[in-house]
């Protein structure tokens, strides 16, 4: 049996660094763990229109 890695996604569930963003121009929401695109993938608004959504 192999050694378990404490950072395996199986232990912590989905990517713990995934965050939710919302486009204020169109309301489209998406989850990203990597950097943001330069424009909204849904309506083309610039990334200055994105806000971070905090989860309770």
Question: Domain 16-53 - what CATH class?
Answer: mainly beta
Question: For 4-52, what is each residue's pLDDT tens digit?
Answer: 545 554 555 555 567 889 999 999 998 877 778 899 989 999 999 999 9
The residue ranking higher by pLDDT, 49 or 54, is 49
What residue spans define the domains of the chain?
A: 16-53
pLDDT reported for residue 35? 77
Q: What is the pLDDT of residue 25?
A: 97
Residue 26: other Cβ atoms inside 10 A: 13
* pLDDT the model gives residue 31: 85
Do the Cβ atoms of 47 and 28 come closer than 8 Å?
no
Dihedral sign computed on CA atoms, order 9, 31, 50, 24: negative
pLDDT of residue 32: 79
């Amino acid at each position: 049996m192999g050694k378990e890695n404490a950072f395996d996604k199986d232990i912590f569930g989905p990517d713990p660094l995934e965050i939710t963003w919302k486009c204020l121009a169109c309301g489209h929401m998406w989850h990203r763990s990597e950097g943001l695109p330069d424009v909204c993938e849904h309506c083309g608004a610039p990334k200055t229109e994105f806000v971070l959504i905090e989860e309770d």
